[in-house]
A and B are shown apart, each in its own frame.
Chain A
């Protein structure tokens, strides 16, 4: 049985609302009915394995990918019709390498980029570049992958857009630079009213920034939830069993992960803790401990635990 998880978010004010978005590339369904809500002001972590559809979903939001079906609203506009207006108010840091084959110096690329954004802050761009250890005189075609990532971050942030879409912003950066980027992001979010949608398959370093998480698999959301609700609802129960025991269906329906030994089990359950403890105790079992999971573990457990059994 697959546990029922909340796979939709509701919000009165949202920066992004995608409903039932589908996109097929050849034989592959990159998005298979993805429904995404990003509340205004949220730091939303878009999690999922490689190939889950994270990048495709981000690209549909700014009109770089046109969905086969479904509707998308970003900053009160539709990328189908107003992609230019949306892009002007969005900072996008792509995971793939674009526009960097040119021989002009990085400063020239930034100046070209700035021309598209009335709110571009040249001083801020210079500060960010310095913090990210970028040399503005370097010709673009000589930049390493890591330097390209850092330059893309400068270009995403320096016009202080109300919406930031960052695709794997920490990938390929060394630990010191990742820490620097996290510091800049915390500072940026505290300073400017920003909604951040960040796609990453590693959650641990971003976790302290995150307010909402969505777990995507095969183009569809398994889970979407505010972080406090995740902390409340997803817990690991260590339980001692009586000699004979049968699990309440209430419990077995909500198991995402199970480790079982003789007379002892460790189940990861989604739902109401007091209710689960009562159900264990009613069956004669003793709950020895209840613990929370890290964000990384939570995502892993959701990705594994919602997989249908192979013989099902």
Chain B
């Protein structure tokens, strides 16, 4: 069984269920969650993350509404086969950008400041060679 998430962060700006949803998107985007891969049961994930099982249920239900997973009665929750990795990368990237922007504004920076800084930082990293995809977990 693919364990797609190691921990949640109660201090994160995202509610816990949204963190679980983002980790599923990440798994799809980087290929660790393949079509028809089974997600852990609600109980397993609740126990593993020390969270309320209703939070896991909420995350899975939202993912189903978005068409990323399907339920099989008595069997569990699975990744939908037709989900494409590329759009999930975009959804994730937008969410990361929103958080970075919020942080930039908090520090009195503009989106232009942030864009320039990202380009400069990314340039330096690319010179060092980026890791291919994200095969390793955090």
Provide the residues of chain B in CB contact with A182, threshold 8 Å.
Answer: 50
Given the known interface contacts A187-B47, A189-B46, the answer about A211 and B106 at a Cβ–Cβ threshold of 8 Å is no
Provide the residues of chain A in CB contact with B54, threshold 8 Å.
Answer: 41, 211
Cβ-defined contact, A292 with B13, below 8 A: yes
Q: Does A179 contact B (CB under 8 A)?
A: yes
Q: Does B89 contact A (CB under 8 A)?
A: no
Q: How far is the CB of A179 from chain B (nearest CB, A)?
A: 7
Q: Does A146 contact B (CB under 8 A)?
A: no
Q: Does A209 contact B (CB under 8 A)?
A: yes
Cβ-defined contact, B106 with A186, below 8 A: no
Kindly report which residue of chain B lies nearest to residue A289, judged by CB atoms: B106
Main secondary structure of the interface of A (DSSP, over half): helix
Chain A 22-67 interface residues, beta-carbon cutoff 8 Å to B: 41, 43
User: Of the candidates A209, A291, A295, which one forms a contact with B13 in the assembled complex, judged by CB atoms under 8 Å apart?
Assistant: A291
Cβ-defined contact, B50 with A189, below 8 A: no
Bound CA span A292–B12, Å: 9
Q: Does A11 contact B (CB under 8 A)?
A: no
Bound CA span A210–B53, Å: 11
Given the known interface contacts A186-B50, A187-B43, A189-B46, the answer about A208 and B105 at a Cβ–Cβ threshold of 8 Å is no
Cβ-defined contact, B47 with A186, below 8 A: yes
Q: Does B61 contact A (CB under 8 A)?
A: no
Cβ-defined contact, A209 with B50, below 8 A: yes
Q: Does A145 contact B (CB under 8 A)?
A: no
User: Of the candidates A186, A238, A288, which one forms a contact with B53 in the assembled complex, judged by CB atoms under 8 Å apart?
Assistant: A186
Given the known interface contacts A191-B43, A291-B13, the answer about A210 and B108 at a Cβ–Cβ threshold of 8 Å is no
How many residues on the B side are at the interface (Cβ–Cβ under 8 A)?
A: 22
Q: How far is the CB of B64 from chain A (nearest CB, A)?
A: 19
Q: How far is the CB of B107 from chain A (nearest CB, A)?
A: 9
Chain A 115-164 interface residues, beta-carbon cutoff 8 Å to B: none
Chain B 41-82 interface residues, beta-carbon cutoff 8 Å to A: 42-43, 46-55
User: Chain B, 8-44, contact with A by CB distance < 8 Å: what is the 0/1 string?
Assistant: 1011010110000000000000000000000000110
Kindly report which residue of chain A lies nearest to residue B12, judged by CB atoms: A292
Cβ-defined contact, B13 with A186, below 8 A: no
Q: Does A307 contact B (CB under 8 A)?
A: no
Given the known interface contacts A208-B16, A288-B105, A289-B102, the answer about A186 and B51 at a Cβ–Cβ threshold of 8 Å is yes
Q: Does A207 contact B (CB under 8 A)?
A: yes
Interface centre among A189, A211, A288, A295 (most CB of B within 10 A): A189
Given the known interface contacts A190-B43, A289-B106, the answer about A43 and B52 at a Cβ–Cβ threshold of 8 Å is yes
Kindly report which residue of chain A lies nearest to residue B58, judged by CB atoms: A228
Cβ-defined contact, B16 with A190, below 8 A: no
Bound CA span A231–B55, Å: 15
Chain A 180-226 interface residues, beta-carbon cutoff 8 Å to B: 182-183, 185-187, 189-191, 204-205, 207-211
Cβ-defined contact, B52 with A186, below 8 A: yes
Provide the residues of chain B in CB contact with A292, threshold 8 Å.
Answer: 13
Chain A 274-312 interface residues, beta-carbon cutoff 8 Å to B: 288-289, 291-292, 294-295
Bound CA span A182–B49, Å: 9
16 residue pairs from A and B, CB less than 8 Å apart:
A41-B54, A183-B48, A186-B49, A186-B50, A189-B46, A189-B53, A190-B42, A190-B46, A204-B10, A208-B49, A208-B50, A208-B51, A209-B50, A209-B52, A231-B15, A238-B106
Show the binding face of B for A, using Cβ within 8 Å. 8, 10-11, 13, 15-16, 42-43, 46-55, 102, 105-106, 108
Contacts A185-B50, A187-B47, A190-B43 known; 19 new A-B pairs at CB < 8 A: A182-B50, A186-B47, A186-B49, A186-B50, A186-B51, A187-B43, A189-B53, A190-B46, A208-B16, A208-B51, A209-B52, A211-B52, A238-B106, A288-B105, A288-B106, A288-B108, A289-B102, A289-B106, A294-B11
